C-alpha cells in the first residue's frame, strides 16, 4: 500500500484530491472495523510520548492557550512488518495489540496477510529535507 492507502504502483494523487483519503475515510466510518469507543482525545504533559500506528486517525487540536507546543514525527523503519494474524496472541507487539484493540479485534484479523514485498518509503518531508541539506552543503 502507498502512504495514502492505495495499491503500490497507483499513480500519485494530489494531496488536495479527496480520493487520496477515500480508503482511510471508508475504514474509519466502517462500523465493523471501528466503534465510537475507538475515538478518544489524548492530551499529555511535557515529555509524554505517544506511539501511533500510521493508520491511526489523528489530528492536531486548536492551541487556545497559545502555549508553545512541539511535535516530532520521526520516520522509523520496522525490522519486520506488522503481523495482525499470529497463531499465538501473546506474540503481538505492543503496537500490533493497540492497533487490533482499536479496530475492535484484539484477537487478531484471521484473514489478514502480507500480499506484496516490502518497499522502502521515504516520506515527502524527509526527501525535501535531504534535498535541502544537499543544496546547502554545496
For residue range 1-20, what is the model confidence (pLDDT) as tens digits?
Answer: 676 677 777 787 887 888 87
Q: Does residue 95 belong to any structural domain of this protein?
A: no
Mean model confidence pLDDT for the chain: 79
Q: Does residue 19 belong to any structural domain of this protein?
A: yes
Q: Does residue 129 belong to any structural domain of this protein?
A: no
The boundaries of the domain holding residue 21 are: 1-30
Q: Does residue 118 belong to any structural domain of this protein?
A: no
- Residue 108 pLDDT: 95
Burial letters 101-119, b for 16+ CB under 10 A, else e: ebbeeeebeeeeeeeeeee
| Most confident of the ranges 1-10, 32-41, 107-116 | 107-116
Q: Does residue 96 belong to any structural domain of this protein?
A: no
Q: Does residue 8 belong to any structural domain of this protein?
A: yes
Mean predicted confidence (pLDDT) in 25-36? 79
Q: Does residue 29 register a pLDDT over 90?
A: no
Q: Does residue 87 belong to any structural domain of this protein?
A: no
Whole-number Å distance between alpha carbons of 128 and 122: 10
Q: Does residue 93 register a pLDDT over 60?
A: yes
- Residue 112 pLDDT: 93
Q: Does residue 7 belong to any structural domain of this protein?
A: yes
pTM for the model stands at 0.49
Higher pLDDT, 15 or 133: 15
Whole-number Å distance between alpha carbons of 85 and 113: 7
Domain count, the chain: 1
Amino acid at each position: 500500500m502507498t502512504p495514502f492507502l492505495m495499491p503500490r504502483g497507483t499513480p500519485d494523487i494530489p494531496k488536495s484530491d479527496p480520493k487520496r483519503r477515500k480508503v482511510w475515510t471508508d475504514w474509519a466510518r466502517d462500523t465493523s472495523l471501528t466503534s465510537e469507543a475507538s475515538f478518544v482525545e489524548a492530551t499529555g504533559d511535557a515529555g509524554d510520548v505517544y506511539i501511533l500506528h500510521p493508520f491511526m486517525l489523528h489530528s492536531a487540536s486548536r492551541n487556545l492557550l497559545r502555549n508553545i507546543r512541539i511535535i516530532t514525527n520521526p520516520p522509523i523503519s520496522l525490522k519486520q512488518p506488522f503481523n495482525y494474524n499470529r497463531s499465538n496472541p501473546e506474540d503481538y507487539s505492543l503496537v500490533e495489540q493497540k492497533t487490533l484493540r482499536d479496530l475492535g479485534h484484539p484477537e487478531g484479523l484471521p484473514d489478514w496477510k502480507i500480499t506484496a514485498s516490502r518497499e522502502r518509503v521515504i516520506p515527502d518531508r524527509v526527501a525535501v529535507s535531504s534535498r535541502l541539506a544537499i543544496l546547502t552543503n554545496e
